Each structure stands twice: as structure tokens, then as C-alpha cells.
Amino acid sequence: MKACRPSLRGLALAALALASCAPDAAPPAPAPDELPAHLADTGLYADATLRDVAPDVWPYDPQYPLWTDGATKRRWIHVPAGSAIDATDPEAWVFPAGTRLWKEFALGRRLETRYMEKRADGSWLRASYVWSDDGGDAVLAPAGGVAHLAEVAPGVPYDVPGRADCATCHSRGDGVLGFDALQLSAERDPLAPHANAGVPAGQDLAAFVARGLVRGLPADLLARPPRIPARTPRERAALGYLDTHCGSCHRDDGPLAGLGLTLGAELRDRDGDHPPRALVTTVGRPSRFRPPGAPSCEARIEPGAPELSTLVERMATRDPLRQMPPLGTHLVDVDALHLIETWIREDLEPTP
């Protein structure tokens, strides 16, 4: 961890910290015994070497992974024996009490492993564990996170988020992201940015159903693995990217419902009989985001013109007051930005 430099940005962050990190403003801390002090005690690993995962812990690999400044990730899930994920609603899986998930972030070496566990009352316990330099241990991170744990590029910090930040994104459905019918589908999107090619053995939807971890899934989703209906392959990848990076907050319910902006993918209309909400609520729709000096009526997506599209503008900046997503990155996702810009320019018909 590096000390803050006395720069303007440092001052700005200090001012923000004064406003936003007063001790009394912190979320209620979990009871001390709820969060193990060491990752080794969360049940992830088979033994103290912290290399092999326990036999009742399963790796998974979402087809539209979240960009975190290029950090590489590994993910695992544990569902208690005798219980299962209720997948009756393909867009709103319900996880049983005792479900645990881990996500490991690495940049050359393991940096942190984020952890969430569903309590008996249905709420989630969330925390992160920071790895020692030698990889021999990972200890519980402070509730407020860790600033500048490492660097993703020269001078660009890698930050561990605070626990209160977890809920910002993990607010869709039951609060689990990246483990659902679309993300685990065997029908992988070859154009998805930063995705691994193909589904690793034993990690697709059918495998989790066969294992008994997922129950109630509509049979149609097994017979015909889910994919995003789209007019072009590029649009499919663009909508998948927006689903992962924007759709957990920008949805028809929740605190942002009033914006009328929905960027999540939909599985209920499997044949694409209706235009996706991610298009209906963006293409040609005026943006409420209006920085001083900007045109008075810029569209969320201006078909044929990414340079006039607010969605692109906010993807292309990491100014913390304007960037989207608002958390988790200090670098622009250049590959995804190229995908979205090309999709808007080449695939969306300009307004006459």
C-alpha cells in the first residue's frame, strides 16, 4: 500500500473522504465472529497450502466477465449439501442459505479474494481478503477497503472496495452476479470482451443442474441453451457487455427505476419477438446527463454516431464524477469501448 501523494487529486480524495468516510457513516459492521479473519477459514480451500479448492466448491466462468482494469479472475461457488439454487425464474435465481461465493483477483500475483455468504435470514455477508506478497495467507480487509493495494499500470492504483460498495452492484435479484442461466450457458458468445474461449469442462449450466446445485430450471433452457437475441453478432456481444457492466443497477426496479433506463439482458423473450429493453430505453432516447457546455439533447445512444452518445461518453472517461460504471475501475475498457462504438456506428441505423 502506498501513501497518498500531496497532489490535487489527493486533496480531492481527501475532501471526499472527509465528506463520505466519517466513522459514524460506515455501515453496521457484521458481528466479529461472522467473518473469519483468514480466507483459509471460509471453506474455499482443501488444505493450508491455499492452492486446491475443497471438493464441495465448484469453479465457474461467466461468458460476459466484468472488467476490473485487466485483473484476471477465478470464481467458485459452494451450495450446502441437501439444498439447491431455485432457478424456476430464469432471470431471478434464489440461492439457499449457506451459499458461498468467492472471486479471486490477480495481477501477476493474487491480490484479493472477495467473499460472500448468504445468512439464514436471507441477507448476504460480504468481505474481501487481501493476499500477502508471498501468497501464503489472505487476511480480512478493513471494512472501508484498501486504497492503492497495487498498481494496474504505472501510477494507476488497484483498490480493494469497501464492504458498503459491494451492495451497490450486488443489488440485482438475489444479489449474486455472474452465476445465472445466461452467464453459464454453453452457447458462448465468441465476441464477448475478455472472455475465455469456450466453457471449461463441468462449468456450464447443464453440469450444475446435473450436480443438483441448480433445480427448477425450465427445461427449454437446457434443451436450447440461452443466448441473447440480437440482430447481429456484434449486437449480441454489446448487449451482453452492457448486461454485466450496467444491468445490475440500470433495471426496471430498484433505486434507478425512475430513470427509465434498462440495460440488463432478457431471457423471457428468447426468440427476440420484442425489441430488447436495452435498445428501447437507449436508442434515440434523451439523456438526463448534461455536463455544462454539452448539447442540450444528447441521446443515450445516437444510432450511427457514437460520438454523440452519452453511453459512450461515460464509458470513455474515468473521471470519477462521470465514469460508468462508477466503481471498480481506473482504466477505460478499450476493447469494450471499441465494441460498443462499432456497434452503434455500424449496426444501428442513423435517425433520418
Q: List residues near another protein by CB under 8 A.
A: 8-9, 11-12, 14-16, 18-20, 22, 24-25, 164, 168-169, 171, 249, 254-260, 288-292, 319-323, 326
Shortest gap between Cβ of 284 and another protein (angstroms)?
A: 17
Shortest gap between Cβ of 323 and another protein (angstroms)?
A: 8
Nearer to another protein, 186 or 256 (CB): 256
Shortest gap between Cβ of 60 and another protein (angstroms)?
A: 25
Nearer to another protein, 135 or 295 (CB): 295
Q: Environment class of residue 351 by beta-carbon count within 10 Å: exposed (0-12), middle (13-18) or buried (19+)?
A: exposed
3-state secondary structure of 114: strand
Q: How far is CA 5 from CA 9, 16, 69, 239, in A?
A: 9, 15, 22, 39
Q: How far is CA 195 from CA 62, 79, 166, 265, 311, in A?
A: 8, 25, 23, 17, 22
Shortest gap between Cβ of 295 and another protein (angstroms)?
A: 13
Nearer to another protein, 213 or 261 (CB): 261
Nearer to another protein, 5 or 51 (CB): 5
Nearer to another protein, 317 or 351 (CB): 317
What is the spatial distance between Cα 13 and Cα 20, in angstroms, rounded to a whole number? 10
Shortest gap between Cβ of 112 and another protein (angstroms)?
A: 22
Q: Cα angle vertex 146, ends 320, 155, to 5°?
A: 60
Helix residue ranges, H only, 101-213: 163-169, 205-210
